[in-house]
Structure 1
Amino acid sequence: MRSWKQTVLTLVVLAFVSTTGYKVQAEAVNDTQVLHRTVKVNDLDIFYREAGPKDAPTVLLLHGFPTSSHMFRNLIPALADKYHVVAPDYPGYGHSSAPSVDKFEYTFDNLANVVETFTEQLELKKYSLYLMDYGAPVGFRLAVKHPERVDSLIIQNGNAYDEGLDNKFWVPIKEYWNHRTTEQGDKLRGFLTLDATKWQYTHGVRNTETISPDTWGHVQPLLDRPGNQEIQLALFYSYGSNPPLYPKWQKYLRKYQPPTLIVWGKNDQIFPDAGAYPYKRDLKNLEFHLLDTGHFALEEDGDKIAQTMRSFLHRNVATSN
C-alpha cells in the first residue's frame, strides 16, 4: 500500500513532467507561431506578419498584386523554425492603411520608401528578399540602394528584364503608360473584377481544386473598397517606371552577385517564364526551378517552394550568419 509521502511525491513528479512538457511544447509552437502586428510608418499603419527567432537570419517577403502578406500565410511557419520571417502589406493592400490617391502618392518609388522605412523601424539590418510580382520592383529598389543589406534573393514570378513583359497581357497596360487617359484607365478596370482575381489564382495550375477560395475571398473585398480601384490604376501607371530601371537592376546583379533562387510558375501569363531565363545571363550563383503551375505558385507548390528555400538558405545564408 502506497504511503501518503509516496503519493505526494508521485503527484509532484507528474506535475513537474506535465509542466515541463507543456513548456517545451509551447516553445516549439512559439518558434513558428505567426504574429500579426502593425507599425506606424510615416503616419501610415503598416500591417505585417512575423514569426521565428529575431536573432536568426531574416527573410523579408514582398507580396504581389492584388494580394498582400496573406499570400505567405503558409510559407511563414514553414520557415520560422530556422529564420526570422517578416511579411508587410503595402499601403493600399491587405490590412495596411489605404489613403486615397489624393492623400498618398501610389508609385513604386513610394512603396519602396515605405518598405525601407519599415525595415529600419524593425531594425532589420540584413535580409533575404522574396520578390514576387509587385515585390520585384519594390525589392530591387531596396537592393540597389542598400546592396550591403541583401543576403540573398528568392525570385518567384518577379520581373527584371524586357523579355518578361513581351506578351499580350501587358498591351493595354503599356498603352496606359503612353496615354494616361480616363478612357484608357477604364479599360483596365476589368483586371480588378472577381473573375480576373480568380483567373490569377487558377490559370495555369495543375488542379484548380487545390486552390482555396479563401484567396480571392480575402483579396476581392479589399479591391472593392471605395477608392481602391483608383489606387490600383495609379500603380498600373507607375509600373511603367520599372522597365527603364531594368539595366540598373541587372547591373546590381552582375556587380554584387547575390546568391539567387528562382522558383517560377512557368504557366503564368502575366510574368511568363521568358522573364525567368534572362537571370542566367547575369548571375553566377543561381539555382533555377521552373514549376508546373501558375502565377501564385505558392498556392499549389508551397511545400516544394518551402523545402527548396530551406535548402538554398541553409547553403547560402544560415551558415554565414
Structure 2
Amino acid sequence: MASSTIGLPAADNASALHAIRTHYRYKQAGDVKVFYREAGDPKSPTLLMLHGFAGSSFMFRDLIAQLADRYHLIAPDLPGFGYTEAPERGEYAYTFDQLAETINQFTEELNLDTYALMVHDYGAPVGWRMALAHPQRVTAIISQNGNAYEEGLGEAWAPIQTYWRDPTPENRSALSEFPTPASIKWQYLEGVSDQSLVSPDGYSLEGMQVLRPGNAEIQLDLLLDYASNVMMYPQFQHYFRDNQPPLLAVWGKHDPFFMAAGAEAWKRDIPDAVINFYDTGHFALETHAKEIGLDVRNFLDRHIRPSD
C-alpha cells in the first residue's frame, strides 16, 4: 500500500512531499543534451524507464506519481524524441546501437551504478543492449510491450519488413505515413475497447513532436535499423537465460505491433517470469496505469526493495 504523509510531523511531511515531486532536468551525455524526469529519493532503488515510439518520458507520468514515494525514478527522452536535444540527422547516427550508447553514458553521468529497467517498444532494444554490456547493473526488468522474440512481431510489421529486405527509396516512401500525427493517434487508440479512456494529451504531444523539421526522416532511419534488433534477439535471449533477471511483463494484449506470444515466450528463458495481460493496446499505461502501477510496485517490492 502506498505510504501516506497524513499525520507525520511537519518536517517529515515536507520531506515526503519533496520526495514525490517530479523534477524536469537535462544532463549532457556526449553530444546529446538528454531531457529526463526524476522523482523519489536518490537513496532508494532506481527504476530507469525507457519509452518507445511514438512516445516520450511523458508516457510514464502517472506511474512515476504512483512509485515515487518508494523508488527513485529516472525517465529520459531518447534522442529523436521528446525534449532531448540531439544533433541533426547526419551528425548523429540514429541507430539503436547509438541510442543505447547515449543512454548508457547518460546513466554514467548520473552515477547510476545499478537500476531496474522498465522498457516500452523502442526502449526495449535500447535496454537489452545496455543489459548485455553491463549485466551487473540491471537488478530487475519490467517490459510494457517491449519485445525480444520473433513470435511477438505482429502483422503490422509486414510493410516494415519489406523495407528491411529491400531498403529502396520506394519502400521508404511507402512508410511515409508511419511518422505522422494521424498514425500516432491510431497507435494510441488501436486495440482499446473504450477509447474515451485515452487522454488526447499523449498522442497530440507526440504528433506535434514528429512534425519538427527532420524528425520524420529520423523516425524512418530508426524504423530501418529496427532490423538490427531482430537480428540480436538470440543474443538478448541468451542474456535472459544466463542471468535470470527478475522479469515482469505488463502487456496490452491487443497491441497490433507486439503480440501476446512475445510476452509468453519469456517463460522459455526465464521460467519464473511473471506475465500479466491487460485489455488494452500498445500504450497500456494510457488506460491501465493504476493496475499496472500496483503490479509494478508489488514486483519491485519483492525483488529490489530492501526490507523496511
Note the alpha carbon deviations across 1:58-99, whole angstroms, 9 max, x for none: 000000101110111111121111111000011111000143
Partner of 1:78: 66
Normalization by structure 2: what TM-score? Answer: 0.95
Bigger proportion of residues as helix? 1
Residue 51 (structure 1) shift: 0.4
Residue matched to 1:172: 159
Match of 1:8 in 2: none
Instruction: Call closer, same or farther: CA 1:263–1:275 in 2, change over 3 Å.
Output: same
- 1:187 corresponds in structure 2 to 174
Equivalent residues of 2:181, 2:204 under 8 A apart: no
CA contact (8 A) 1:151 1:317 kept: yes
**1:263 & 1:44 partners in 2: Cα distance?**
30
Query: How many Å separate the matches in 1 of 2:119 and 2:201?
Result: 22
Cα separation, partners in 2 of 1:98 and 1:221, compared to 1, 3 Å: farther
- For residues 139 and 306 of structure 2, the distance between their equivalents in structure 1, rounded to whole angstroms, comes to 12
Q: Does 1:274 align with 2:248?
A: no
CA shift for structure 1 position 320: 7.0
Shift of 1:22: 5.1
CA distance in structure 2 between the partners assigned to 1:288 and 1:230 by the alignment = 35
Distance 1:25 1:319, change over 3 A: closer
Query: Do structure 1's residue 197 and structure 2's residue 197 form an aligned pair?
Result: no
Distance in 2 (CA, whole Å) between partners of 1:151 and 1:164 is 24
Shift of 1:43: 2.2
CA distance in 2, matches of 1:320, 1:159: 32
Q: Is residue 304 of structure 2 the alignment partner of residue 317 of structure 1?
A: yes
Superposed CA offset, 1:216-258 (max 9, x none): 1210111001100110010001100011111111111111100
CA contact (8 A) 1:204 1:294 kept: yes
Displacement, 1:144? Answer: 0.9
Q: Paired residue for 1:10?
A: none
Q: Structure 2 regions of 5+ residues with no counterpart?
A: 1-7
User: 1:117 corresponds to which letter in structure 2?
Assistant: Q
Q: How does 1:85-100 map to 2 (within 5 A)?
A: 85-100=73-88
Q: How far apart are the structure 2 equivalents of 1:285 and 1:119?
A: 28
Distance (whole Å) between structure 2 residues aligned to residue 44 and residue 310 of structure 1: 31
Q: How many residues align?
A: 301
Tell me how far 1:182 sits from its aligned partner.
1.6
Matches for 1:1-321 after TM superposition, within 5 Å: 23-165=11-153, 167-319=154-306
Write out per-residue CA displacement over residues 251-305 of structure 1, whole angstroms, 9 at most, x where no aligned residue. 1111110001111000000111121111011103211101111000000000111
Which segment is superposed worse, 291-300 or 185-194?
Answer: 185-194
Contact 1:158 1:271 in 2 (8 A): yes
Distance (Å, rounded) in 2 between the aligned partners of 1:171 and 1:263? 25
The root-mean-square deviation of aligned C-alpha atoms, in Å, is: 1.4
Uncovered stretches (5+) of structure 1, i.e. residues with no partner: 1-19
SS in 2 for 1:314: helix
User: More displaced, 171-180 or 262-271?
Assistant: 171-180
- The answer (yes or no) to whether the contact 1:258–1:285 under 8 Å persists in 2 is no
Contact 2:39 / 2:72 at 8 angstroms: preserved in 1? yes
Q: Report the Cα offset of residue 44 of structure 1.
A: 1.4
- Tell me which structure has the larger Cα radius of gyration: 1
Instruction: Tell me, in whole angstroms, the C-alpha distance in 1 between the residues paired with 2:13 and 2:42.
Output: 19
